[in-house]
Structure 1
Amino acid sequence: MRAAVLTEFGGPEVLQLREVARPLPQPGWVDVRLTCAALNWHDVLVRRGQYASPLPHVPGADGAGIRVDTGEEVMILPSLHWGRRENAPAADWQILGDHQHGTYAEFVSVPEDCLVPKPPGLSWHEAAALPLVGVTVFRALFSRGRLQAGEHLLVLGAGGGVATMAVSLAAAIGAHVSVTSSSEEKIARAVSAGADDGVLYSDPAWPEEARKLTPDARGFDLVLDSVGTWAESLRALRLGGRLVTLGASRSDVATIAVRPFYFAQHEIIGTSMGSPQDFAGLLSLLDRTAAAPPPVDRVFPLDAASEAHAHLESGTAIGKVVLDIV
């Protein structure tokens, strides 16, 4: 089968189209003939060697296609071996494309419980782009963050897949959503997608400017931080507010003052990916509300996976980057 393969770690250019063997059969696993795959920042970290993937390796967590044994149209939940507990994954949990060959290929093999019927209302591109960012954001906002209608949410980094999905889901349940961004254009796009307003994070005082967007400038009930700026995010919270953290794209070390943290009764809540139950909750929310799937920014052919990665890393994408496999 054709696949975009890593034989070494590095920049986008290390992704090369190769012929590789199809996945070997495993009990309880199912082959999927992929139609599309979607990129995530996590794939960039895999390509750079962050997760010590075995080489040669096929990256890719997100995908949608045809289940080989039944012919059913399916989406892939890339959360492998979650386990029985909902509060945290099992010890052998992993993300598809870390150590198991992923979705940048014509075929992928996954555990049967990671397959979900493709909703008829989604295009193939949307179905491929939804699972990782959708289940991650659903878990972050609702399972972990406990976001309720009427609460005020601040989403850091408007424009990325996490931010656009968070705006859509939070607005759909009646939360008030603000965003941060490096550009007025991205803020305007977030507003058109359901956000109320936003601030530029290029201003060092952005947490205080963001607080002014809440009633009486008291601060946000919840801040969704996928970039790792904990100290600034805590400044934007109200007393008793919650910080949900799910990424470290800007900083992987955080230093915070302890006394202000506990006097303010703040919470810092970690989360990553999500369970099959979270994914079921996401699909139910999409079905009963006007929440939209993640927007698709650009589509590349499989043999241009390196160009797709370069585009993702450029920071200009608004929404998801997708690979056409067939």
Structure 2
Amino acid sequence: MTVKAIIHGDEGLRLGEMPTPAAKKGEVVVALKTAGLNRRDLYIPARRENKGHDLILGSDGAGVVEAVGQDVTRWSVGDEVMINPSLNWFEKSDGSPEGFRLLGMPDDGTFAEKIVISEEQLEFRPAYLSWEESASIGLAGLTGFRALITRGKMKKGDTVFVPGAGSGVVTLIIQFAKAAGARVIVTSRSEEKREQALKLGADRAINTHADWNEELKDETIDLVIESVGKATFNRSLQSLKNGGRLVVFGATTEDVIDLDLRELFNRQQEIVGSMMGSRDELREMLVFAEKHHIRPVIDRILPLDDALEGFKMLEDSSQFGKIVFTV
């Protein structure tokens, strides 16, 4: 028996077949209904070394429990669940613990008809969300919530500046920050994306190519959330107030930068790294999102058979929000 899956191996990225997974002790088989595409999935094929075997990509997913292994106590057949892609990180901490990794490499991921996973990596899917939204809020929501709240220490009344307005994480950060009482400013090269960000709740949306010093001269930026990388990093730091905090959770452009250390310590700014988060934070995020009725923004829904089209959209950064596969 086999399942349909999006696979990366020696033949490249393709739609193919993989053996049907079976639950071992402490594991659950989930029949997936939807799976969310993340930028990480785009990078894995280029960065995998010593492939040697086929890998099912994908970190986010939602579905129905189909089978449970020995000693599983938290789940029953028929439960509707979402995947927690942050493996082996359960309690909130300053950094990730030993053994932490993201689902989808080296473990088989969610771009398949079924997945087998530890019972500890599942949560009930939020009842107010659709299946597509349930597969879009895990990785992006957890990443954005930790960057903004845990690591960014955002307070009500803060002004938050977020370069790059189109990613799934940023569309959730905009909503989280507004719900928590912040003023939110974003950037984008695309006029359409700037308009979409404003409709989502951003207070201002400026052109990435504009003079940020001029555009922001009347603003006091308390917190910057950076994920673009070298293309914007130093401008982001210049925009930040003295004593402000800059949180970095990604680098979609080049990740090696030149940094003026004298400027940094003279202005007494903080630069903080952030990546994914714990199960504690995932649950906090889900409670917060439901309380404020926050929904992931979905740009495109594609059948798994057309998943490679979704990869191309992400590569072009043409989407606003998430790309989701129906399985």
- Asked if TM exceeds 0.5, the reply is yes
TM-score range relative to shorter protein: over 0.9
Deviation sequence 1:46-70 (CA, Å, 0-9, x none): 1222576663111000000001232
Equivalent residue in structure 2 for 1:7, among 9, 12, 24: 9
| Structure 1 partner of 2:317 | 315
Which amino acid is the alignment partner of residue 19 of structure 1? Answer: E
- The answer on whether the counterparts of 2:9 and 2:51 sit within 8 Å (CA) in structure 1 is no
CA distance in 2, matches of 1:213, 1:66: 51
CA distance in 2, matches of 1:100, 1:280: 23
| Structure 2 partner of 1:272 | 275
- The answer on whether the counterparts of 1:77 and 1:116 sit within 8 Å (CA) in structure 2 is yes
Equivalent residue in structure 2 for 1:19, among 11, 17, 20: 17
- Shifted more, 125-134 versus 193-202: the winner is 193-202
- The answer on whether the counterparts of 1:5 and 1:56 sit within 8 Å (CA) in structure 2 is yes
| Structure 2 partner of 1:243 | 246
Q: Secondary structure at the match of 1:82?
A: coil
Q: Secondary structure at the match of 1:66?
A: strand
CA distance in 2, matches of 1:86, 1:54: 35
Q: Secondary structure at the match of 1:43?
A: helix
| Structure 2 partner of 1:212 | 217
- The answer on whether the counterparts of 1:210 and 1:236 sit within 8 Å (CA) in structure 2 is no
| Structure 1 partner of 2:60 | 62
TM-score by length of 2: 0.92
Which amino acid is the alignment partner of residue 92 of structure 1? Answer: G
| Structure 1 partner of 2:72 | none
Q: Secondary structure at the match of 2:135?
A: helix
Which amino acid is the alignment partner of residue 296 of structure 1? Answer: I
Q: 1:53 to 1:60 in 2, by over 3 A?
A: farther
Equivalent residue in structure 2 for 1:289, among 274, 282, 292: 292
> Which residues of structure 2 form unaligned runs of 5+?
68-75
Equivalent residue in structure 2 for 1:175, among 169, 182, 195: 182
Deviation sequence 1:211-231 (CA, Å, 0-9, x none): 2351xxxx3110010111332
1:183, CA displacement in angstroms?
1.7
CA distance in 2, matches of 1:31, 1:224: 36
- Shifted more, 110-119 versus 30-39: the winner is 110-119
1:160, CA displacement in angstroms?
1.3
CA distance in 1, matches of 2:214, 2:311: 34
CA distance in 2, matches of 1:198, 1:142: 22
Q: 1:40 to 1:176 in 2, by over 3 A?
A: same
Which amino acid is the alignment partner of residue 222 of structure 1? Answer: L
1:15, CA displacement in angstroms?
2.5
Equivalent residue in structure 1 for 2:97, among 87, 90, 93: 90
Q: 1:66 to 1:267 in 2, by over 3 A?
A: same
Q: 1:320 to 1:79 in 2, by over 3 A?
A: same
**Between the two proteins, what is the percent identity of the paired residues?**
37
Equivalent residue in structure 2 for 1:42, among 33, 40, 43: 40
RMSD after superposition: 1.6
Q: 1:54 to 1:98 in 2, by over 3 A?
A: farther
CA distance in 2, matches of 1:177, 1:52: 43
Q: Secondary structure at the match of 2:97?
A: coil
Deviation sequence 1:77-122 (CA, Å, 0-9, x none): 1000115451111121110001000001011122212111011110
CA distance in 2, matches of 1:35, 1:43: 18
Q: Is residue 192 from structure 1 mapped to residue 203 from structure 2 by the alignment?
A: no
Q: Secondary structure at the match of 1:273?
A: coil
| Structure 2 partner of 1:233 | 236
